[in-house]
Structure 1
Amino acid sequence: MMELSQELRTLLLKRQRDEVTGALLYQKMAKREKHEENRRLLEQMSRDENDHAAVWKHYTNTEVKPDSFKLFRLNLLSILLGFTFVLKIIQKDEQLAQQEYDVMIKQFPEAIAMEKDERGHEQAIIHMLDEERLQYVGSMVLGLNDALVELTGTIAGMTFALTNTRLVAMSGIITGISATLSMAASNYLAERADGNPNALKSCIYTGIAYLITVVLLVTPYLIFGNEMYLYALLTMLAIVLLIIFFFNYYISVAKDYKFSSRFLEMACISLGVAVISFVIGLLVKQFLGIDI
C-alpha cells in the first residue's frame, strides 16, 4: 500500500464520499423511474459510482458514509424538478472537479479510466433528456409568460383603480381562472390543428403553469389588509421576479439555455407591462372620477 500525504488522503476521501453519495442517489432515482431505458442507465451509473468508491477505498483503507445532506437535497430536487435537472447539476459539479482528477491521474492510473466513465456519464445524460416535463417546456413557457404579462398588468392596473386589496384579489381570481381556462382551451385547439397527438397533455401543462402563477400573484392581496394595497403590489412584483428567476434558472440548467438574457427579457416585459397598466389605472380612475 502506497504512503499517502495528508493532502492527497483528504482528496481521496472526498472523492470516495462523492462516489458513494452518487451511487445511492442514482439508485434512488432508478427505483422511481418508469422509463425502462432511463432506469437501466441510472442503475449502470450507480454501479459505476460504487466501483469508483471501491477503488478509492483500496487506497484510503477507510469506510466512508455518504453525504446525507447532499443526498437528501439532490434526491428531493429530483422528485420536485425531475432527474434531468439534478443530473445536469451533477454534470456541472464533475466539470468543476476536473482539477482534482488531474492531480489524482498523476498518482493513480485508475483515475484515467474513472475519468473516462465520468465523461461517459455526461454523454449518457445528454441522451436521457426525454423526461416528459421537459417535452412540454414550450407549453409551460406559454402559460407562464402569458400569466405573468397579463396578470401582472391587470393586477397592477386594478391596484390603484380600486385601492382595496380584497377587491383586487377578487378581480384577480376571477380574471385568472377565466384566463387559465381560455389559455388552456386555445392551446389545445392550436395543438390539435397542428396534429399533435398529445394536445391534451400540452394544454394541461399550459393550464397548470398559468393557474400556479395566478395563485402566487393574487396571494399578497389576500394577506395584506384592505388599505395596504401598495405593500401588496410591491410584494406581487417581487414574486414576479422570483418566478421569472426560478423558472429561467431551471430551464437554463435542464436545457442548457443562457440564463441572463432570458431572465432580463422576461423581467423587462412583465415589469414594463405592470408600469404601463399602473399608469392606465391611475388615469382611468382620475378621468372617470371613480372613488371606491
Structure 2
Amino acid sequence: MTREELVKHAKLFQQEEITGYNVYKNLAKLTKDKNNKGVLSKIAGEELKHYNIFKQITGVDIKPKHLLVWFYTMCGRFLGLTFALRLMERAEAKIQKVYERVIPHMPELRAVKESEEEHEDKLIELIQEERLDYAGSMVLGLNDALVELTGALAGFSLAMQNTRLVAVAGLITGIAASLSMAASQYLSVKTENDNRHAGKSAVYTGLAYIITVAVLILPFIFSESYMLALGLTLIFAILIIASFNFYIAVAKNLNFKHRFFEMVVISIGVSALTFGIGFLVRNYLGISID
C-alpha cells in the first residue's frame, strides 16, 4: 500500500473519530445524569485521542460529518442515549472491516482498534436509562394492543361494516383495555415486592397501549370504506411492530428479524381469526348493525 493510500485511509479514520467525538460531547451535554455524563465524556476523550493519532499521520485537521453529528444527537435527545450509541456502533462496524485491511500497513491502527473494542462497549453498558429499564412494560402494552385491538377491529369491521361505529367501539375497547393492562401490570410488579417500580411500570404499559390504540383506529376515523380502513390498520400495525422492534433490537443488542416476524404472524393471525368470527356473527347468528 502506497503512502498516498495510507494517508487517504488515515483521513477517513480521522474524520470518523472527530465525528464520534462531537456526538459523544453533545450527548454528554444533553444528559442530566452524572453517571451518564461521565461515561459519555470518557468515550469522547477516547475518540479525540484516536483523532490525534491519525492527525500525526495526515498532518492536517479534518472537519466532522456535521449531518451525522446532528442525526445522532437528535436520536439521543428523542430516542435515548443507548439507542443512539448502539446505532453508531452498527455504522462503525463497516469502518472496523477497513481497519482489518489497513492494520498491516499502519501499526498505530491496532492500538486504536483494540481500544475501541475494549472500552466503548463496556462504557455503553454503564449508561443508565429509565426508558430501557421499563422496556418490558412497553413491550407488554404494545404487544397486547396490537394483538387485541387489530383482532377486535377486524371482527368489528365485518360485523358492523360502518367505519364510525368501528372507530367508537375500538376506542372504547382500547381505553378500557389500556386501563386494565396498566392496573394488571401495577399489581403484578407490586406482587413481586417492587413497590418503587410498580407505578412507573403501569404508566409505561398503559401509555404504550393507548398510543398504539390511537394509531390503529385512525383509518376508521378518516375512511368511509371499512375494508380500506382495516387494510390500513394492518399496515400501521406492521409499521409499529417494525419501528418498535428495531428500537429495542438496537438499544438492547437483540435479533430484530425473529422478534419482528413473530409479532407480525401473531397479530395478523389473530386478526384473520376474529375477522372470521365477525363473518359468522353477521351471517349465521343473525346479528348485524346497519
Taking structure 2 as the reference length, what is the TM-score of the superposition?
0.93
Counterpart in the other structure of 1:66: 64
Counterpart in the other structure of 2:229: 232
Query: Residue 32 of structure 1 is aligned with which of 25, 30, 34?
Result: 30
Task: Give the SS at the match of 1:198.
Answer: helix
Counterpart in the other structure of 2:277: 280
Checking the alignment, whether the CA contact within 8 Å between 1:84 and 1:125 is kept in structure 2 is: no
Q: Which runs of 5+ in 2 are unaligned?
A: none
Counterpart in the other structure of 1:214: 213
Q: CA deviation at 1:39?
A: 1.1
Q: Distance in 2 between matches of 1:248 and 1:233?
A: 22
Q: Distance in 2 between matches of 1:233 and 1:106?
A: 58
After TM superposition, the structure 1 = structure 2 runs for residues 128-139 of structure 1, keeping only pairs within 5 Å, are: 128-139=126-137
Counterpart in the other structure of 2:55: 57
Q: CA deviation at 1:120?
A: 2.6
Q: 1:131 to 1:87 in 2, by over 3 A?
A: same
1:72-118 Cα offsets, whole Å, 9 max, x none, are 22111122221111211222333332232233432333222211220
Q: Distance in 1 between matches of 2:23 and 2:2?
A: 29
1:179-215 Cα offsets, whole Å, 9 max, x none, are 1111111111111111112100100110111011001
- Percent of aligned positions that are identical: 41
Q: Which amino acid aligns with 2:208?
A: A
Number of residue equivalences: 288
Q: CA deviation at 1:172?
A: 1.2
Q: 1:42 to 1:241 in 2, by over 3 A?
A: same
After TM superposition, the structure 1 = structure 2 runs for residues 69-80 of structure 1, keeping only pairs within 5 Å, are: 69-80=67-78
Checking the alignment, whether the CA contact within 8 Å between 1:94 and 1:118 is kept in structure 2 is: no
Q: Distance in 2 between matches of 1:32 and 1:216?
A: 30
Moved more, 110-119 or 236-245: 110-119
Counterpart in the other structure of 1:264: 261
Q: Which runs of 5+ in 1 are unaligned?
A: none
Checking the alignment, whether the CA contact within 8 Å between 2:23 and 2:72 is kept in structure 1 is: yes
Counterpart in the other structure of 1:22: 20
Checking the alignment, whether the CA contact within 8 Å between 1:161 and 1:281 is kept in structure 2 is: yes
Q: Distance in 2 between matches of 1:125 and 1:262?
A: 27
Q: CA deviation at 1:129?
A: 4.7
Moved more, 228-237 or 90-99: 90-99
Checking the alignment, whether the CA contact within 8 Å between 2:216 and 2:237 is kept in structure 1 is: yes
Q: Distance in 2 between matches of 1:112 and 1:179?
A: 55
Taking structure 1 as the reference length, what is the TM-score of the superposition?
0.92
Matched, 1:250 2:247: yes
Counterpart in the other structure of 1:84: 82
Q: Distance in 1 between matches of 2:2 and 2:129?
A: 43
Q: CA deviation at 1:234?
A: 0.6
Query: Residue 155 of structure 1 is aligned with which of 117, 135, 153?
Result: 153
Moved more, 250-259 or 91-100: 91-100
